[in-house]
Structure 1
Amino acid sequence: MESVIDRACAAALYSDGDAGLDTGASLLAADPSADEELHRRGEEFVRRAWARGWQPADVVRTVRRELDDAGAALAAALIEAETAGYGQLPPRWADQLAAMPAPAPRNRPDRFTYASALLELYRLLLRLPAIEPAGPPPGTAAGDPALRPPAAGEPRMLTRIRALLAKAEATGFPEEAEALTTKAQELMARHSIDEALLAARTHSADVPGAVRIGVDAPYESAKAVLLDAVASANRCRAVWNSDLGFTTVVGFEPDLESVELLFTSLLVQGNAAMTKAEAGQRAGGRRRTKTFRQSFLMAYAQRLGSRLAADTARVTAEAGAEAGGRAESTGALLPVLAARDVAVTDTAERMFPRTTTTRLRGATDLEGWTHGTAAADRARMGGEGPEISR
Structure 2
Amino acid sequence: MLTLTISLNGKPFKTVTSDGSKKLVFGRGASCDVVLSEPTGGASSEHARIECSGGVFSVFDQGSTNGTALNGTRIRPHTGTPIADNDQIHIGKWLVECKLDAPQVTALPNVPAEGPADHRAESLHTALRAASKRGADAVQKALVDALNRLDPDGQRSVLNGLLQLTQGDAQLQAAVRAELGRREAIRDACVQAVSSLAARHGGFEAFNSVEEVNRFFRLSDQALELMLEWIVNTLSARKTFEEKFSAKVTRFFGLDSNPIKHALTPNQAGRYLLNPADARDPAQIKQNLAEAFRHLSVHQLSLVAGIQSALKAAVEQLDPAKIEARASHWLGGSFKRGKAWDLFKETYQGLLDNDSKLFNEVIYPNLRHGYLAAHETQGIGEGA
What interval of TM-score do these two structures reach, taking the shorter chain for normalisation? under 0.3
Higher RCO (CA-CA < 8 Å; seq separation 6+): 1
**What is the TM-score when the length of structure 2 is the normalising length?**
0.25
Give the structure with the larger strand fraction. 2
**What is the TM-score when the length of structure 1 is the normalising length?**
0.24
Max Rg structure: 2
Give the structure with the larger helix fraction. 1
